[in-house]
Amino acid sequence: MALTPVVYRSFNLLGLLIILFSVIVALKYRDDLPKMSREMRWLCYLLSINLMLALFYVVIGRDSFGIAKDPLKLMGMIPIMLAIQILGMRLDRLYIGLALGMLGASIVVTYQIQVLSIDRAGEVYNPNVYSEVAMVSGTALLCSVIFLSGWKKAFAIAGAIAAFYCVLISQTRGTLVAIVPMGTVAIIALARFRHFDYILGSATQRKTLIGIAGVILIAGASLGYKYGGDMLDRYNLAVEELATYTEDRTTTSSVAIRLELWYGAWLSFKQAPLTGIGSDNRRKYLSDLESEGILHLNAYPWRHNHSDYFDSLQRQGLPGMLIVIGLYGILFMSYWRGLAGSSREQFGLALGGLLLVTGYASFSLTEVPLRNSLTLVFFIILNAILLGMLRRTPGEQE
């Protein structure tokens, strides 16, 4: 899997090129830009504050310029969204592309499991990253069934099944647990806006829906039978590690290290609640606590806190964590308002975006998708496309 770093860097380069192209489009057609909604103005303010906070740390010498890398990428969400509003996009091509990506990923992880004999799919790079992207891609593809038709609908379903297959064999516990909040949000949204008719439709469509549900049920049962045991073993392992940690804090398990890192974040927050300790000082701070016997990290070289919320709290204090929460909150609110759209396309886009944000907010509890370049670029581009298309009138949906 020597190509993994190449693919990883190519994806980041593609994201940067898309952002650059979007800036050019937004500047060229700035007179045609529609008026921004209240939520989008809040998003612009929040992302600007996030960038200024990072640059402030650079200016005062608290951190290197590397701290501004992710805030700069997040700012790219705005020009992409504006470019999509101006130029539009073929929605069917968006979801066909997602489905192709997930089908391709399923082939790669199957090769890793069957040929390379790797225990966890995606482990050549990072199974968490693959499963997080796969999870939100799968839910977006399921939401696209609301407005796609014919072979495109069937292809989207195939892509969704492939995506959930990738999640399952990656054995990433936090990602699979995210099904609960994502499913809950989907049910509440459908019930609140009474759009079950978008899915049920005519008698013929209802028969099609039953067939789709049957295929998904059979595929899910088959995958669960094949790989569910390994996932269950990992959950049982987490319970055992937690029990061991309560008896002996010096244990070196994955759960123990996470809890120690979160405790270290809490200690740093009490020391510098409004400014944080910065990214460059973080490793020395944790090493000092470990040498004093306050933390038990066993010199493990973690680059982050295994939680976007705790990580931002430690690096930038309370303002940093509030920015993360605010980002998810503003996006969630924007998609929630979009559910009231008058067309199938708008409802399907909004529901997909709602589940995207819910998923990432859940992943951020135990991982750092907003600090990993691959998941961050995916989050930026997909959110920008969905938001941009939502703000085009139904007649402009291409």
The band of 360, judged by pLDDT with boundaries at 50, 70 and 90, is very high
Exposure pattern of 124-138 as b/e (b: 16+ CB <10 Å)?
A: bebbbbbbbbbbbbb
Q: What is the largest CA-CA distance in the chain?
A: 70
Mean pLDDT for the stretch of residues 154-167: 87
- pLDDT score for 121: 62
Segment 352-371 shows an average pLDDT of 92
Q: What is the mean pLDDT of the chain?
A: 79
Q: Name the band, by pLDDT with cuts 50, 70 and 90, for residue 397.
A: very low
- Confidence check: pLDDT of 320 > 70: yes
Mind listing the pLDDT tens digit for each residue in 164-212? 888 887 777 778 778 889 989 988 888 877 655 555 454 445 555 555 5
Residue 261's closest CA among 329, 214, 313?
313
Contact 79/36 with Cβ under 8 angstroms? no
pLDDT tens sequence across 40-59: 889 989 999 999 988 888 88
3-state DSSP of the chain = CCCHHHHHHHHHHHHHHHHHHHHHHHHHCHHHCCCCCHHHHHHHHHHHHHHHHHHHHHHCCCCCHHHHHHHHHHHCHHHHHHHHHHHCCCHHHHHHHHHHHHHHHHHHHHHHHHCCCCCCCCCCCCHHHHHHHHHHHHHHHHHHCCCCCHHHHHHHHHHHHHHHHHHHHHCCHHHHHCHHHHHHHHHHHHHHCCCHHHHHCCHHHHHHHHHHHHHHHHHHHHHHHHHHHHHHHHHHHHHHHHHHHHHCCCCCCHHHHHHHHHHHHHHHHHHCCCCCCCCCCHHHHHHHHHHCCCCCCCCCCCCCCCCHHHHHHHHHHHHHHHHHHHHHHHHHHHHHHHCCCCCHHHHHHHHHHHHHHHHHHHHCCCCCCCCCHHHHHHHHHHHHHHHHHHCCCHHHCC
% of the chain residues with pLDDT over 70? 76
**pLDDT band per the 50, 70, 90 thresholds, residue 1:** very low
Residue type, 312: S
Mean predicted confidence (pLDDT) in 109-120: 74
Tell me the average pLDDT across 119-142. 76
Rounded average pLDDT over 104-116? 80
Is 209:200 a contact under the CB 8 Å cutoff? yes
pLDDT in tens, 229-268: 565 666 666 677 777 777 777 677 777 788 888 888 899 8
Flag whether pLDDT at 69 surpasses 80. yes
Instruction: Report the pLDDT averaged over residues 367-388.
Output: 89
